[in-house]
């Protein structure tokens, strides 16, 4: 379920009321909001991090940051968008701390983990996830945000703190690379 689908599944008046209560310090309303958004956020982080343990850790960190920063939430944005922006920043910070592109112990372990998660979620694009796992995080994250979650170039640029042109370039180059890999896979099977 995408962020937009999640927002559509929650009645906007009820959601807006819970958000207002949470911003005013109502812990019960905030807990309810976070509980409702947890599955969507976990699926997003799993696709971004390509690592179940890291995704779980980052979702927990995101929830803690949301609790700490609920007073800064602006009602002009969707709550799910706000959570995804926090999660994305935490992930990118994690990557920066490591000072290098994330390397897997073995590429096959990563592919197997993503296939397993995709089969659990009954998603129909595990082949694309296999190809995505080979992309560096600075390319993979914009692709997921734009094409899986439907966010705008402007939102992605703001979250990643990069120019819009860089977002477009990473998307263009990353999608071309994915197309080549997926076409190579199709040709290998025939």
How confident is the model at residue 111, as a pLDDT?
A: 53
Query: What sections of 99-152 are H helices per DSSP?
Result: 107-121, 126-133, 137-143
User: Could you report the average pLDDT of every consecutive run of 10 residues in the chain (190 residues)?
Assistant: 46 81 93 95 91 93 96 88 93 76 45 53 61 86 84 89 93 88 66
Q: Which residues contact 106 (CB under 8 A, 6 or more apart)?
A: none
- Locus of tokens 């179940």: 52
Whole-angstrom distance, CA of residue 95 vs CA of residue 88: 11
How confident is the model at residue 124, as a pLDDT?
A: 46
CATH no. for 3-189: 1.20.140.160
How confident is the model at residue 95, as a pLDDT?
A: 81
> Concatenated DSSP letters for 42-70?
HHHHHHHH--HHHHHHHHHHHHHHHHHHG
How confident is the model at residue 170, as a pLDDT?
A: 93
How confident is the model at residue 160, as a pLDDT?
A: 87
- Locus of tokens 């990069």: 162
How confident is the model at residue 143, as a pLDDT?
A: 87
Quote the pTM value: 0.64
Which has the closest alpha carbon to 47: 162, 161, 135?
135
How confident is the model at residue 189, as a pLDDT?
A: 57
């Amino acid at each position: 379920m995408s962020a937009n689908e999640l927002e559509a599944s929650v009645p906007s008046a009820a959601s807006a009321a819970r958000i207002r209560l949470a911003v005013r310090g109502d812990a019960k309303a905030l807990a309810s909001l976070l509980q409702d958004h947890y599955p969507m956020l976990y699926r997003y982080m799993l696709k971004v991090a390509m690592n179940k343990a890291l995704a779980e850790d980052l979702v927990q960190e995101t929830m803690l940051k949301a609790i700490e920063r609920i007073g800064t939430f602006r009602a002009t944005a969707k709550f799910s968008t706000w959570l995804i922006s926090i999660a994305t920043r935490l992930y990118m910070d994690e990557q920066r701390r490591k000072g290098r592109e994330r390397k897997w112990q073995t590429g096959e372990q990563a592919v197997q983990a993503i296939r397993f998660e995709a089969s659990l979620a009954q998603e129909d694009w595990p082949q694309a996830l296999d190809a995505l796992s080979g992309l560096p995080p600075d390319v993979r994250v914009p692709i997921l945000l734009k094409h899986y979650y439907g966010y705008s170039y402007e939102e992605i640029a703001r979250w990643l703190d990069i120019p819009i042109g860089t977002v477009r370039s990473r998307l263009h180059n990353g999608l071309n690379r994915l197309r080549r890999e997926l076409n190579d896979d199709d040709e290998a099977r025939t």
